[in-house]
Structures are given as C-alpha cells and as structure tokens.
Structure 1
C-alpha cells in the first residue's frame, strides 16, 4: 500500500501535538502551548552514527539551551532497548522519547525511510528534523532533511535563537 505523501509544516504554523513514551517513565509531550521555548530534535535512531555525533554535540551545549529558556526534547522511532543502550554508552541527560510512529513523523512534515537492511533497523524511521517551537505552540524554525548528512549547527542555531528571542523577531518564510 502506498503511504500518503508527507505534508510539510508551514512557517509559523501550529506544531502538531502528540505524546510518545519517555525514557525514565511517563510520556514526552510534543507541541501545544508551553511555559517556554522548545528545541525538538527528531533523530534517525541507534543505527545512525551521525545522529550519535549530533546528540553528543547537543549534550555539550544542553545547559546553554536550558539557560536560554529552552526545553530540549529528542525523539526517534527506536524501541526503548535501543535508546537505553545509547544512553548507557553516551550518557545523554536530555529528555528522550521513543517509539515515534509514522503518522506522527508525517504530521511533523518529516521524510520517512525504510531500512536498507535488517542490520540497519527493523522499522521505518524518520529522517532528521530540528524544530524550534514558540511558547504558543507555533513553529519558529523548521529544519528537515531527507538524509543524515544535513543538520543545523547547534551553536549557530542557539545563537540565532537567542537573538530572535531578545529582539522579538517574527517567524520568517511565511510569504
């Protein structure tokens, strides 16, 4: 059966609201209104070396994001066992959700891929997506890729977001 095409989120649109199970228990709520800004990183999963490098860089800047008023959330389609393996190996301390479903991937406008082999992974997964979500639940930054090699530099993104917040800059790209 052919899957429906993904509809891309528009700049300034309300981010879709959903929940995924969270490492450590409970759920990780995504979208909707929040007390502050949110940095959401959707990563491909345990099979992706570039994702691990990116999340290791995030760990190094995590406290700076929090100091800037951001809630940091990461999610993937991986099952809990794979996420726990990576946390044990890399020591990530930010919130991580797992078992992201294809419908949620598509609602976020992400590209979805089938594994190249059973050694890669056993399920469809989302290609990378980085979102900065305003406290009112709308999108400020949407950075999606159809492959693992293109992602925004986290230091540059943080610097830009601090400028955006301090200068009350509007959402761009709405025309």
Structure 2
C-alpha cells in the first residue's frame, strides 16, 4: 500500500550506509535541517544530470542544511557513479523497499535487465526539520519531474529563516 508522508509529523527513523563516512540518519533530532534526495539509481541518466547540478551548488546547500542523497543501489553501483561523475556529496545506498514505502515513494520494477535488476524508488525530495518532522515533500512517479534546485533552496531558506509553518493537509 502506498501511503503519503505526513508533513508536520515525524519521519520514520531510518539510517543509510554511505560510501565515505559513517551512516547517516533521518527521523531523529539533530542540530540542522536535512534535505533528503532519493534518486532512481545508476541506471537513470536523468538522475545523474540532476545530481550533477546538485553537486555544482552543493556548497550553497551545505551552508543551510545537511544533504543526504540515497538510492536502492548497491555500494558498488553507488561508488561507480560517484567516481564517474566526481560528486562531492557522500553518496548513500541500500534504500530498502520498506523505507521507500515509508517515505511514500513510488516503487518501480525494472523494465529490463539492462535497466537494473532490482525494484527501485522513483525520485523524491524531503525537507526535514531539526526535530525530525517533515516540512516539505516532493515526490514523482517517474524520472522527468524534479524540483528546480535554486527555487527549492530559496524556498527552504525562507522557511528556515522565518520559521514558517507546514503548509497543506493530506
């Protein structure tokens, strides 16, 4: 069953392995805001373009909040992408289907073995307050719909600086 994550409510606690540092977590209190970006995986060229754009503005994002990037890929696939594209963010991997569903993400089966061999999450972006509650959610059922990174960062800065309330109801 696909459930929509509820803004204003705590995000389920999740921990993600990373390539270069200690595991990272969401859903528990921390000092800073977090933006979680979920991408489809190594098989997705649109994801690589989006993440390369994120990499270009990563310092702007890191000055405001922590950034976590995760997919269902294996460590090996994540490492290949990071090396190929020279991304500076610490790439997380191993997103489980249970975690995908908890985040309300659309889950897809591969169209062929050439695409990938396992189920994977469609893209999502989640703005999480320091108390572990969800402030903003943007999910897509396919690779083509992605948030504009400059607009998203500008909006997040405004929300943080003005302590804006959650908007919208489920």
Q: Distance in 2 between matches of 1:106 and 1:66?
A: 27
Q: Pick the aligned partner of 1:33 from 29, 32, 36.
A: 29
The structure 2 residue matched to 1:104, chosen from 79, 99, 124, is 99
Aligned partner of 1:50 in structure 2 is 46
Residue in 2 that maps onto 1:122? 117
Task: Show structure 1 runs of 4+ deviating over 6 A.
Answer: none
TM-score, normalising length: structure 1? 0.94
TM-fit CA distance, 1:151: 1.1
1:12–1:174 CA contact under 8 A, matched in 2: no
Match in the other structure for 2:164: 169
Query: CA–CA distance in 1 between the matches of 2:42 and 2:14?
Result: 22
Aligned counterpart in structure 2 of residue 144 of structure 1, from 109, 114, 139 = 139
- Match for residue 83 of structure 1? 78
Mark the runs of 5 or more structure 2 residues left unpaired by the alignment: none
Name the structure 1 match of 2:66. 71
Gaps of 5+ in 1: none
Distance apart, 1:93 and its partner CA: 1.2
CA distance in 2, matches of 1:51, 1:97: 14
| Shift of residue 27, structure 1, vs aligned partner | 1.6
* Aligned-partner SS, 1:84: helix
CA RMSD of aligned residues (A): 1.1
Q: How much has 1:9 moved relative to structure 2?
A: 0.6
